[in-house]
Amino acid sequence: MNILYILLAIAGGYLLGSIPTAILASKLFHGIDIREHGSGNAGATNVIRVLGWKTGIPVLIVDIAKGWLAASLPVFFSLADRGSSTMVNFQILTGVASIVGHIYPVFAGFRGGKGVGCTVGTLLALNPLLTLVCIGVFLAMLFITGYVSVSSMSFGIAFPVLLFTVFDTPSTVFKIFSILIAVTLIITHRSNIRRLLKGEESKFIGKKKKNLEN
């Protein structure tokens, strides 16, 4: 096992996650810093709300791709046998590195997004079918409630529940990771939870692009 390759994979995962997609898109195409508008979050959801779908969807796709690429680095470096629990564990490690990079990007003053896009990308690399099912849960909750925050937390909670009851994995670390995802998504959405309880959370469905001065 090559320690250098392991360190390179982890560093590569973090740097991939640190690419500030939302900030770059908002500055390059709209001349603003997305963190100064809307919810103040440097994520695809805030970009869609403030700048519209044409900017937000590419940001979301790139964020997901960052997580997928990061979680694929252990395969690229051949750190273990494909499909083995060791390989899955390495993929989780580099995927988490990308999520940390997205939340605390070295290229953007360590002020990033909530890591949802990179999390989805990482999970797609680890278990595509389970992830697609959870994306279905996300879309269903978005249609029912209109809240991205509720949908994101529902995605996070559904993942470990389905992993433990319907799907399976050779990696105990993956099971623990799935629980941590749910907990982390709830923690990172605590401000949204407070707004939901106060009835102040903005609905996503039916909202038009907001004025940049709001």
pLDDT (tens digit per residue) in 111-145: 998 888 999 999 999 999 999 999 999 999 999 99
| Whether the predicted pLDDT of 38 surpasses 80 | yes
pLDDT at residue 1, as a whole number? 59
pLDDT at residue 212, as a whole number? 55
- Distance separating alpha carbons of residues 194 and 150, to the nearest angstrom: 12
120 exposure class (CB count in 10 Å sphere: 0-12, 13-18, 19+): buried
| Whether the predicted pLDDT of 213 surpasses 60 | no
pLDDT at residue 70, as a whole number? 98
| Whether the predicted pLDDT of 95 surpasses 90 | yes
Residue 171: inside a domain: yes
Indicate the residue among 103, 126, 149 that finishes a domain.
126
Residue 211: inside a domain: no
| Whether the predicted pLDDT of 170 surpasses 70 | yes
pLDDT tens digits for range 45-60: 889 889 999 999 999 9
- What whole-number percentage of the chain has pLDDT above 90? 68
pLDDT mean over 137-166: 92
Residue 125: how many CA atoms within 13 Å on its side-chain side?
Answer: 30
| Whether the predicted pLDDT of 63 surpasses 60 | yes
Residue 200: inside a domain: yes
- Which structure tokens are listed for 19? 């690419």
Of 155, 148, 138, 135, the C-alpha closest to 207 is 148
Of these ranges, 104-113, 179-188, 194-203, the one predicted with the greatest mean pLDDT is 104-113
Residues 92 and 33 in one domain: yes
pLDDT at residue 118, as a whole number? 93
- Distance separating alpha carbons of residues 137 and 125, to the nearest angstrom: 18
Residues 116 and 151 in one domain: no
What domain count does the chain have? 2
Indicate the residue among 126, 144, 171 that finishes a domain.
126
| Whether the predicted pLDDT of 207 surpasses 70 | no
- What whole-number percentage of the chain has pLDDT above 70? 94
Residue 173: inside a domain: yes
pLDDT at residue 210, as a whole number? 47
Residue 144: how many CA atoms within 13 Å on its side-chain side?
Answer: 10
Indicate the residue among 74, 102, 126 that finishes a domain.
126
Q: How far are the Cα atoms of 16, 25, 67, 101 from residue 106, in angstroms, in the given order?
A: 10, 17, 16, 7
Q: Which long-range contacts (CB under 8 A, 24 or more apart) does 153-156 make?
A: 153/182, 153/185, 153/186, 153/189, 155/116, 155/120, 155/185, 156/181, 156/182, 156/184, 156/185, 156/186
